[in-house]
Structure 1
Amino acid sequence: MVSEYQRLLDGPKLKSSVITRYIATRIPGLIPQKSELIFDQAFWNPFKPLTQVTLHQWNLFFAGFWCWTWDAFDYFSVSMNVSHLAKEFDVEASDITWGITLVLMLRSVGAFVFGALSDRYGRRYPLITVMAILACLQIGLGFVQTYKQFLGVRALFGIFMGGVFGPAYAIALEDAPDVAHGILSGIFQQGYAFGYLLVVVFQRAITDNASKSWRALFWFSAGPCVIWVCWIWSLNESNAFQLHHEHAKATHQGDATRAFVKQAQTALKRYWLAAIYMVLMMAGFNFASHGSQDLYPTLLTKQMDYGRDRSTVTNSVCNLGAIAGGVFIGHLSNYFGRRLMVIVCCIGGGAMVYPWAYVRSSAINAGAFFMQFFVQGAWGIVPIHLAELSPPEFRSFVGGLSYQLGNLASSASSTIEATIGERFPLYDDQGVKRQDVYDYAKVMAIFMGCVFGYLLLIMLIGPENRHADLSYQEQFEEFDRDLDDDEKEKADHIETV
């Protein structure tokens, strides 16, 4: 797989023969090599590879994990309170989901700024900055009085939440041993599902019981951010970043800024096609996630008339399925490949659309569990897959920005579902139109069927760079050669002139 990806980066040369050869390898490339299918103890016990993770690596991993988890907590605090917020500000549910869309649209700004800072100056300070500001914004959100104020604060949320993923996934994974990459990727990504699960629990414990309702939940969420800031402050940078930083200074006589600019030029020339693909890929993943999650609590409470306790149980089951799927599929991807496991998840998720959306008995919990098992199981490969496909010198920037541009493309998911759902009102047994109750199940089922089809296709045609070295060492010689080639081209040009 590595040689295939390196061929893609050579130019890339968009000749018909190269394109034809690449397309011909898409399906055969899904079949794992016999040398990779080692069914040892580590295969049957997904937690066995974790024994090779050192204390230093665990410290970095969980620092990134908790920042990512709290990013999810901040995001889903609004999703869980769409009805409360709509009533508070006297607007429609679709107006509140516009606040969700606004966050997703502005995340790319934060990913651009903090991703670049992370690759230039290290992972720690960008993470400290965004988590500290998010804590302040959570407190402020609890004091908003109008819908416009709500949108303004959520817009700022979008910028700073977008700066979390890039440095967080880089610091969590780049020092980890290769054998544990798959399962650590799954665990890290499911920090988002874990954050959703925590919101479900604290929604029931705080929002449903506190006199300040949803405001109390936002105030509470600011507290743990202070813990994550102190934790990251106490850490050293990852060994991988320190190695890269020292090499960059040595290559350019101590001028790290000049090295950073030169590497950016080289990376742009070599990785532009891979970067475009990653954005398209992440759009599919984000459509799957937001399309199956954001409006689901509203479907349960409004269309199915679930009470608070029953809705809490079903949403908790969803997230337990997500966590199980992310860990299990992430682990298997180390053996069977990132692309193949996502394709399997698309097929499995498609089979779960009906029981997830239409079953009215308690059996819906099984459909909800397995829907999120496959959706978030596919997501389990995302952190490590992005790390392997990204330029080694710009892992935080390219991986984080690709993720958030995909978020931008899918930002209207919940608004689309809510708006189209309003075209399908539901009626009671006497034929009277129910107030503010729509057939969200129909819209969400069709939406998710289309998303699974798109994601399957995009993974089928995409590249893979499994087992790439994330420590930078193997890339130094190749990158230095490219930089030397650039200097030689400049010299030849000057001589010609």
Structure 2
Amino acid sequence: MASANRPADPLAKGIIPTAKQALKDLFTWDQRVVVRNDYGEEHCEWQKPEPLKNPITLFAQLSLKDWLYFIVGFLAWTADAFDFHALSIQTTKLAAYYKQSNTNITTAITLTLLLRSVGAAMFGVAGDKFGRKWPMVLNMIILGLLQVATIYAATFQQFLAIRALFGLFMGGVYGNAISMALENCPVNARGLMSGILQQGYSFGYVLAACANLGVGGETNTWKIVFWIGAGFSIVIGLVRVFFPESKQFLEAQKSGSKKASGAFWAETKQMLAKEWKMCVYCIILMTWFNYYSHTSQDSYTTFMKQQKHLSSAGATRASILMKTGACVGGTILGYTSQWFGRRRMIVCAALMSSFLIPAWILPTTERGLSASGFMIQFFIQGAWGVIPIHLSELSPPAFRSSFVGITYQLGNMISSPSAQIVNAVAEATMISTSKGTKAPAYGPVMGVATAIIAIGIAVTTALGPEKKGRQFEEAGPIGANLEPVKDIETGSIDNEKEGARAIEVVEDTNVNRKDLEKA
């Protein structure tokens, strides 16, 4: 069926042409949208921005089963965040328990973030090849058990080793949770659902901070928070057992179930050869974004306690309000990106957060820090709220789980020293506080770093691609999108030549189809 939208030039090829086209599109109100026809071919059209629909109407478009998939994905991501922040918000307790500096304790955060990319690769590929269900079940249960193991770490070295192993399994959650939750959503509801889904991370922080506030400020109470996180993760893993595999994955797998196993690697090689520039771009973008969140939040509680002289309870309350702002901002800006555009929303949110930096680090009271923290995280996590659907739309359709998870976690790996850097520089630079005492310069260090990162995100996003509205639901699992080729003489499938010959067949078929259409 012919489209009523104006045709647009195809997406530019090459780094410089793509950057020029992306920057020009950023200032064009109509949006360049990638459209997929019945033959699986894609082209670009100019579409008027979709008017924002009533969120209740969008919610109603999801069936009960769609909601169940979404909620399980959201809770898995929330539990993942709870487990991670159980450490970051209790840095001073753990430093006292193991008799280490705050910087040494944040080494555990670095190790966790470093190994998350390995887990993302392992479980992301497993999710794309074998389904979302069992990789997630395994992930969540082992995460819970590693939280328990952390509690029983007798020495600081054992603590670091367990947190490194924890990072390996933590890395597998994001890709499978995001793909399972969003691949079932109607297209025009994805912006809203993406914003809500990403805030599972902030919600996990809020829950961990509430748990920390509830157990009190005594040193040994950190173990109670870890017990809560362990139970949370294991329960989510067990709940996932009772839900079926994603409908989209099952249907795609059924259609491709007879494909030879060699096609898996053939299609993977083809994707990397074709999409390596997109992979590099998304890794760079995710590196900026992970620095963005970790630099602005991991040491914020320590900043309020040591530089602003807030009590443990006061700093925790301010942290809870700060991340509440993140939940609100991520949901609202993710939702409005469906109308305003993915990249345009990220750029504006990043710039707004940079303008708020002075108001974020200068207040000296709990109320002031709570209010400014709420507002800056509204925009920081508001930009993040666009990321799940933006990455899903940029990813090769068959690689939604592995591509999203791996690029996100590689960005995490590169940004892994962020908390250590902030703590090390702050502890090496003493400043006078409002009470006339000397304290580490957490505020200035976080402020300067966040300003640089926000500008980096705005520039990188402004010059990068966007594929808003891209259809990816009907792509089969990896290996199911290349037809195996039979040997004419023997009738058998040649697995070694399958990849290259299948690509030729697909290309020839597309050429013949176009000739028929012209005729």
TM-score, normalised by the number of residues in structure 2: 0.85
Partner of 2:464: 462
The answer to whether 1:410 aligns with 2:415 is yes
The answer to whether 1:299 aligns with 2:303 is yes
Question: CA–CA distance in 2 between the matches of 1:78 and 1:397?
Answer: 27
Partner of 2:49: 37
1:479 Cα deviation from its structure 2 partner: 5.3
The answer to whether the 8 A contact 1:240-1:470 is kept is no
Residue by residue, what CA displacement relative to the aligned partner does 1:223-271 show, whole Å, maximum 9, x if unpaired?
122221222111111122122212322xxxx135233222212211221
**How many residues end up aligned between the 2 structures?**
472
Q: Secondary structure at the match of 1:426?
A: strand
The answer to whether 1:27 aligns with 2:24 is yes
Partner of 2:492: none
In structure 2, the CA distance between the partners of 1:389 and 1:490, relative to structure 1 (3 Å rule), is: closer
The answer to whether the 8 A contact 2:290-2:415 is kept is yes
- Give 1:426's aligned amino acid: I
Question: CA–CA distance in 1 between the matches of 2:306 and 2:16?
Answer: 50
1:207 Cα deviation from its structure 2 partner: 4.8
1:23 Cα deviation from its structure 2 partner: 1.1
In structure 2, the CA distance between the partners of 1:28 and 1:429, relative to structure 1 (3 Å rule), is: closer
Residue of structure 2 aligned with 1:215, choices 203, 215, 223: 223
The answer to whether the 8 A contact 1:387-1:395 is kept is yes
The answer to whether the 8 A contact 1:266-1:482 is kept is no
- Give 2:328's aligned amino acid: A
Partner of 2:392: 387
Residue of structure 2 aligned with 1:347, choices 336, 345, 351: 351
Residue by residue, what CA displacement relative to the aligned partner does 1:376-418 show, whole Å, maximum 9, x if unpaired?
0000011111111111111111110000000011111111111
| 1:381-460 equivalence runs, <5 A | 381-427=386-432, 434=438, 437-460=439-462
In structure 2, the CA distance between the partners of 1:27 and 1:47, relative to structure 1 (3 Å rule), is: farther
The answer to whether 1:258 aligns with 2:266 is no
The answer to whether the 8 A contact 1:248-1:260 is kept is no
- Give 1:28's aligned amino acid: D
Question: CA–CA distance in 1 between the matches of 2:473 and 2:189?
Answer: 14
Percent of aligned pairs with the same residue? 32
1:220 Cα deviation from its structure 2 partner: 2.1
Q: Secondary structure at the match of 1:363?
A: helix
Partner of 1:69: 78
1:38 Cα deviation from its structure 2 partner: 4.0
- Give 2:127's aligned amino acid: S
The answer to whether 1:239 aligns with 2:247 is yes
Residue by residue, what CA displacement relative to the aligned partner does 1:96-139 show, whole Å, maximum 9, x if unpaired?
01111111111011001001111110001110011111111111
| 1:354-393 equivalence runs, <5 A | 354-361=358-365, 362-393=367-398
Partner of 1:472: 474
In structure 2, the CA distance between the partners of 1:5 and 1:302, relative to structure 1 (3 Å rule), is: farther
1:430 Cα deviation from its structure 2 partner: 9.6
TM-score, normalised by the number of residues in structure 1: 0.89
Query: Which deviates more, 135-144 or 465-474?
Result: 465-474
1:365 Cα deviation from its structure 2 partner: 2.0
Question: CA–CA distance in 1 between the matches of 2:386 and 2:359?
Answer: 25
Runs of 4+ in structure 1 off by over 6 angstroms are: 1-6, 428-431, 481-485, 488-491
Residue by residue, what CA displacement relative to the aligned partner does 1:419-474 show, whole Å, maximum 9, x if unpaired?
1111221347897x64xx31110111000000011000110110001111131259
The answer to whether the 8 A contact 1:248-1:256 is kept is no
Question: CA–CA distance in 2 between the matches of 1:202 and 1:5?
Answer: 53
1:30 Cα deviation from its structure 2 partner: 4.6
Question: CA–CA distance in 2 between the matches of 1:3 and 1:271?
Answer: 24
The answer to whether 1:199 aligns with 2:204 is no
Partner of 1:486: 500
1:2 Cα deviation from its structure 2 partner: 13
RMSD of aligned residue pairs (Cα, Å):
2.7
In structure 2, the CA distance between the partners of 1:25 and 1:463, relative to structure 1 (3 Å rule), is: closer
Question: CA–CA distance in 2 between the matches of 1:2 and 1:167?
Answer: 36
Partner of 2:35: none
| 1:148-187 equivalence runs, <5 A | 148-187=157-196
In structure 2, the CA distance between the partners of 1:153 and 1:262, relative to structure 1 (3 Å rule), is: same
Partner of 1:495: none
In structure 2, the CA distance between the partners of 1:4 and 1:359, relative to structure 1 (3 Å rule), is: farther
The answer to whether the 8 A contact 1:267-1:391 is kept is yes
5+ residue gaps, structure 1: 492-497
- Give 1:230's aligned amino acid: L
In structure 2, the CA distance between the partners of 1:201 and 1:256, relative to structure 1 (3 Å rule), is: farther
- Give 1:365's aligned amino acid: S
The answer to whether 1:48 aligns with 2:57 is yes
Question: CA–CA distance in 2 between the matches of 1:171 and 1:317?
Answer: 29
Question: CA–CA distance in 1 between the matches of 2:331 and 2:440?
Answer: 35
| 1:115-130 equivalence runs, <5 A | 115-130=124-139
Query: Which deviates more, 422-431 or 258-267?
Result: 422-431
1:208 Cα deviation from its structure 2 partner: 3.5
In structure 2, the CA distance between the partners of 1:449 and 1:47, relative to structure 1 (3 Å rule), is: farther
Tell me which protein shows more helix as a share of its residues: 1
- Give 1:367's aligned amino acid: S
Partner of 1:494: none
- Give 1:449's aligned amino acid: A
The answer to whether the 8 A contact 2:97-2:220 is kept is no
In structure 2, the CA distance between the partners of 1:99 and 1:475, relative to structure 1 (3 Å rule), is: closer
The answer to whether the 8 A contact 2:217-2:313 is kept is no
